[in-house]
Chains A and B, each alone.
Chain A
Amino acid sequence: MDIQKVDMFIMSNSKFFESHQVNRIRESLIALDDSKWAMISTLQLKDPTIILIVSILAGSFGIDRFMIGDTGLGVGKLLTCGGLGIWTIVDWFMIQKATKEINIQKIQQYL
């Protein structure tokens, strides 16, 4: 793909990924066929900051887990009162990393 396009994508989307993975994504994108650009550019990625805010406000109901698509653990969190409050607090620190992992999985489908 066009390097300029890829760099633009990376610049606007780098916060959605783990920093050590950005370089690898950039290289894979450059090697990618041009026809997949439409799919890549319209990819719906989750913002880790927004998920963190949701986690702080509604973490006891597992809404954060539901939002990133982790419905199984979301139900677990909902039914156990946020894992007795412990899981809620642990997730305040873990959820950003989990969100970035989900984003990587999403973009990996096209790479």
Chain B
Amino acid sequence: MIENRIKLYTILLLTCFTGYIWLYLNMAYDITKNRSLEVCIIKRLTNIPCPSCGSTRSIISLLKGNYIEAFKLNPIGYILVIVMLILPIWIFMDIKLANNTLFRCYQKIKIYLKEPKYAFPLILFVVINWIWNIIKGL
């Protein structure tokens, strides 16, 4: 159990910090070349945007204060910003207080997401977002 918790926290922290580095790189690149970097495998291979394409641009415009533009680019950007802000703080609090609130919360979310009544709206959201992305031609 303890090993699992540490593993989960490591994965989450790594993902968060990669996200921060990625954001910094993109913003630095954005200023010099005025366009964004692209790593999405699906977009590179098929030229069709994936459901979360454009979320980097969305976060960058969020940071600049263009809330409506951010929503139009990709609503997932909002979710990612909230998660990226909360997760590191939550993990450090958990480690400092020797708690496992995040781990228990994660286990609960895992169980909830297996139930169709919670999973279906999420799937619908992602599919609608994907169709919207393809129409927008991100």
A interface residues, how many (CB within 8 angstroms): 20
B18 adjacent to chain A (CB < 8 Å): yes
Report whether B50 and A60 are in contact in the complex, using a CB–CB cutoff of 8 Å. Answer: yes
Alpha-carbon distance between A57 and B113 when the two chains are bound, in angstroms:
23
Interface of chain A, main secondary structure: helix
Alpha-carbon distance between A70 and B111 when the two chains are bound, in angstroms:
10
Segment from B38-46, B65-73, B92-100 that makes contact with A: B38-46
Which residue in A72, A81, A84 is a CB contact (below 8 Å) of B110? A72
Instruction: Report if A75-B18 is in contact (Cβ < 8 Å); known contacts: A60-B40, A69-B114, A85-B39.
Output: no
Alpha-carbon distance between A95 and B39 when the two chains are bound, in angstroms:
21
B60 adjacent to chain A (CB < 8 Å): no
Report whether A79 and B76 are in contact in the complex, using a CB–CB cutoff of 8 Å. Answer: yes
Which residue in B41, B42, B110 is a CB contact (below 8 Å) of A70? B110
Number of A-B contacts (CB under 8 A): 57
Report whether A79 and B11 are in contact in the complex, using a CB–CB cutoff of 8 Å. Answer: no
Report whether B122 and A81 are in contact in the complex, using a CB–CB cutoff of 8 Å. Answer: no
Instruction: Report if A80-B52 is in contact (Cβ < 8 Å); known contacts: A72-B106, A85-B40.
Output: yes
Interface residues of B in 1-56 (CB under 8 A from A): 11-12, 15, 18-19, 22, 39-42, 50-53, 55
Interface residues of A in 43-97 (CB under 8 A from B): 60-61, 69-73, 75-76, 78-88
B109 adjacent to chain A (CB < 8 Å): yes
23 contacts between A and B (CB under 8 A): A60-B40, A61-B50, A61-B51, A69-B114, A70-B110, A71-B110, A71-B113, A72-B106, A72-B110, A75-B122, A76-B12, A79-B55, A79-B76, A80-B19, A80-B55, A80-B80, A81-B39, A81-B40, A81-B52, A82-B41, A84-B22, A86-B18, A87-B15
Give residues in B with beta carbon < 8 Å to A: 11-12, 15, 18-19, 22, 39-42, 50-53, 55, 76, 79-80, 106, 109-110, 113-114, 119, 122, 126
